[in-house]
A and B are shown apart, each in its own frame.
Chain A
């Protein structure tokens, strides 16, 4: 199977259209299961009581904010290297969702920090600061790409910003190991987890739901961006006006 076939917007558009409903369904199933486990089935925490339940949103959002950035940077690199039109569109389609998750992770983190740590925010905490920088990178990407009218140039500028900012991702991830932070260390890593199994399941399922949701909305957004940018193409004209398509074919 030739995957590069789908790097052409004309081939990608119908494929995305077929996939979107499935990702929505998966997102709803995982969200329902994860939230049920997290908010109903999982017991309270021995130290934090009920308040720990913020992790069921917070951790997934934080993971997604980092993961989406990596995917955007990957598309940025692809766009620069191969000059594919779809790469820039994918980065653009993911950006609002990444921004939302970055904001959500900071927001829920602050709501967690107030009752648990005793403060909403700590400026000198490396984990908190690098996460805030990630939010600014997202906002910067959106601002930069929207400030340039020529879409191809906007994509290239955005791609360079994405690649430069990618150094921040390992800093976020390892900040709790490299420096003394108020933020606790990772509960889940490749070596295992330090959470009760049911809590872990709830958290992973919600994170999976967020992942599926991200794919669904990003594909939806990518389709809209394709229509906006490629409206002159024959296949888009055919799509919007099937009857007259025969007459304009070949233009």
Chain B
């Protein structure tokens, strides 16, 4: 075996070892690497207790309500399986915050309600002109086959 081949083998072995280490570390940290918890995870008790964390999901259509006394905004965040009521004490929401779209809220669970101090909008990976979006929306409403169901993407389930 030439020295050159030995070096190539050494490099390949080193890279394999590194990949293995990285995979194990990432696997061990996977709970901490998510930017938010889904309502299902919160209900399953995976979210931290008495500590600030983030939840994310789709804002349920028709659920956004400004509190009458100006004491914030309430809406429901859902991941399709479970839903969670969020109470946001601020007034200003990001431009992209919409019903039926993704949102991420930071705060704490208090008596089953998620009290948020910050609300962020999550946008999806679809880009299209407004006319196309309207046409899609229309065909969706009329109950025809939605040619692009991806316009309403549920948040990805977190993987272990």
A binding-site residues for B, Cβ under 8 Å = 43-48, 52, 55, 77, 80-83, 115-119, 122, 124-126, 163-164, 166-167, 171, 175, 177-182, 184-187, 194-196, 199
Contact = CB atoms under 8 A, between A and B. Distances in A.
Contacts of A171: 22, 26
Contact of A118 (B93, B131, B153, B156): B93
14 contacts: A43-B129, A43-B130, A46-B128, A46-B129, A46-B133, A48-B127, A117-B123, A122-B35, A122-B120, A124-B33, A179-B158, A184-B125, A195-B126, A199-B127
Contacts of B123: 47-48, 116-117, 184
B96 A45 contact: no
| Interface of A, helix, strand, loop or mixed by DSSP | loop
B64 to A, nearest CB: 15
B96 A48 contact: yes
Interface of B: 4, 7-8, 11, 14-15, 18-19, 22, 26, 30, 33-38, 54, 56, 93-98, 101, 104, 118-134, 148, 150, 153, 155-156, 158-159
A125 B36 CA distance: 9
A82 B121 CA distance: 50
A81 B125 CA distance: 41
Contacts of B129: 43-46, 196
A46 B38 contact: no
Contacts of A182: 35-36, 56, 104, 120, 122
A136 B29 CA distance: 21
Nearest to A114: B94
Nearest to A83: B4
Given A180-B36, A187-B125, A196-B129, 15 more contacts: A43-B130, A46-B129, A116-B94, A117-B121, A117-B123, A118-B94, A118-B121, A119-B118, A119-B120, A163-B14, A184-B124, A186-B125, A194-B125, A194-B150, A196-B128
Contact of B121 (A45, A55, A116): A116
Contact of B96 (A47, A126, A199): A47
Given A45-B127, A163-B15, A180 B34 contact: yes
B35 A179 contact: yes
Given A46-B133, A117-B121, A194-B125, A178 B96 contact: no
Contacts of B122: 117, 182, 184
Nearest to B128: A196
B18 A45 contact: no
Contacts of B34: 124, 126, 179-181
Given A163-B14, A166-B15, A180 B96 contact: no
A186 B153 CA distance: 13
A170 B123 CA distance: 23
B103 to A, nearest CB: 9
Nearest to B8: A81
Contacts of B19: 167
Contacts of B94: 115-118
Contacts of A166: 15, 18
Nearest to B95: A115
Contacts of A184: 122-125
Nearest to B26: A171
Contacts of B96: 47-48, 116-118
B36 to A, nearest CB: 5
A122 B120 CA distance: 10
B148 to A, nearest CB: 8
